[in-house]
Amino acid sequence: METNHQVHASNHQASGRLAAIILAAGMSRRMGQPKMLLPWGKKTVLEQVITTLATSGIEELIIVTGAARQAVEAEAARLGQRWPIQTIFNPQYETGEMMSSIRLGLAALGPHINATLIAPGDQPQLSLQAAQNIVSAWKTSGARLIVPSFERRRGHPWVIGRDLWSKLSEANTARAFLSAHADEIQYVECDATVLQDLDTPEEYAQGLKNI
């Protein structure tokens, strides 16, 4: 699935601005409690996600909230004292449809943003090195789509250039969009953390052991 093909980035992209849309609207049904607020070492899950992304070179962060809105927004406000964070509420969160959150996030991005990273809010395992590799690949490859992989499996988070945002907004699912634009994807090999997230108490317990 990976390719060694590289193209030279334009000066515009190499110096462009990259934001992140953090998807945090889910109802955490399988976890049984709001995942974003769970402890993760000395941080919360959401704080760990934001810290990793902001440290990797992301300039702005948009958190799309839904379930547990007030608590998640309060946590975002606390973290906003350190990082450039904006929150947006998804009133359709109960449908469990991720695309509605992505559309809201895309619509909120300013004209100065060249690309955005689509990031699950329940991926505190993501290593800083993996995040940096993804950001670096966008800045240097010239590709409009950057997707991390581990052992030929697609992972998260992934980057999409501005000129493809309308196509993503029109898609029924993110997977369908990526399949339709498979020939434009630049894969970047990362560690296994790009495949990991938190859905169940068992995954959470295992994740805590690896901190």
Would 26 be classed as within a structural domain?
Answer: yes
Q: Which domain holds residue 44?
A: 11-209
Would 17 be classed as within a structural domain?
Answer: yes
Would 4 be classed as within a structural domain?
Answer: no
Q: What is the per-residue pLDDT for 94?
A: 87
Q: What is the per-residue pLDDT for 95?
A: 86
Would 19 be classed as within a structural domain?
Answer: yes
pTM metric for this prediction: 0.91
Q: What is the per-residue pLDDT for 32?
A: 84
Select from 175, 134, 183 the least CA-distant residue to 20.
134
Would 6 be classed as within a structural domain?
Answer: no
Phi, psi of 137 (to 5 degrees): -65, -40
Would 61 be classed as within a structural domain?
Answer: yes
Q: Which CATH number is 26's domain given?
A: 3.90.550.10
- The pLDDT tens digits along the chain (211 residues) read 434 333 334 444 555 799 999 999 988 889 988 899 999 999 999 999 999 999 999 999 999 999 999 999 999 999 999 999 999 999 999 887 899 999 999 999 999 999 999 999 999 999 999 999 999 999 999 899 999 999 999 999 999 999 999 999 999 999 999 999 999 999 999 999 999 999 999 999 999 998 8
Structural domains counted in the chain: 1
Q: What is the per-residue pLDDT for 5?
A: 38
Q: What is the per-residue pLDDT for 7?
A: 37
